[in-house]
Structure 1
């Protein structure tokens, strides 16, 4: 891309190229306001316009708050999973909620876990763009998420301030610095 602009027309990245292969997991780090979220949203839009690529799904801190189904069971309704399988996946992420629990009663971290479970286990052909996935998660859930990502064969780009989390499974980690992507790992 030649240039990525913020909503305020500030140049965030210029003359940047990012090569992504199937099943790659790439990490992005950088200070607040450097363009991580804007880059992920741009990539979602760009990838979803390409016929030759699998669809991209952006999961950010505020993404899941709109248009939510009423209960946990409703959230997984369109999937082919049985209630038993859904419960097993919830336990795997240390979520001990009843399927009748209203989504409005879940914390931000609990809802983020639901969205991640759905993406990681049910939409295997998508490119996952995760924006700060460890926010609102307790240490055990961060460990469970890292394990899930290691075992998945998804293509992911993950923006995070948690470098320790990213180094557990990312093949490459880039830092956004001075309007460039600098490879760290």
Structure 2
């Protein structure tokens, strides 16, 4: 670490060192015209008045997800762990869960199992989507085995996340109409 620090004209002092990395990165925001078209679309309107629980151990990912979903009328609930997510799920009326799969203590697959266990006597299970940096191929067996309803890969564009959610919520609405 001292070589890296020295190359940036820094010092390593004592046992603790703090690093400030200032790096300019390109914004992940989509072009303004694309955002306007997405807001007008049927896909985006499906989120209006939906209560979405986002479970992720990264506070930054929670903020990004909430910012994205709230633009389309969703109310977001955030949880930093599967245990906290289960608590929120049991206290609030949740319409959709976005579950990070890679979390400490209880991973997203086990978190999904815990939610499914609490709702097993309900006729209409809540859609739970994998929300992860893993590729779909890496987690597709787990998605099937743990009864997840969909997949959103991180990082995502607004169009990708809204499109994926639209598919899952549309299927749920079709099932309700058929019942």
Q: Which TM-score band (shorter chain)?
A: 0.3 to 0.5
Bigger relative CO (Cα 8 Å, ≥ 6 apart):
1
Between structures 1 and 2, the one with greater helix share: 2
Between structures 1 and 2, the one with greater strand share: 1
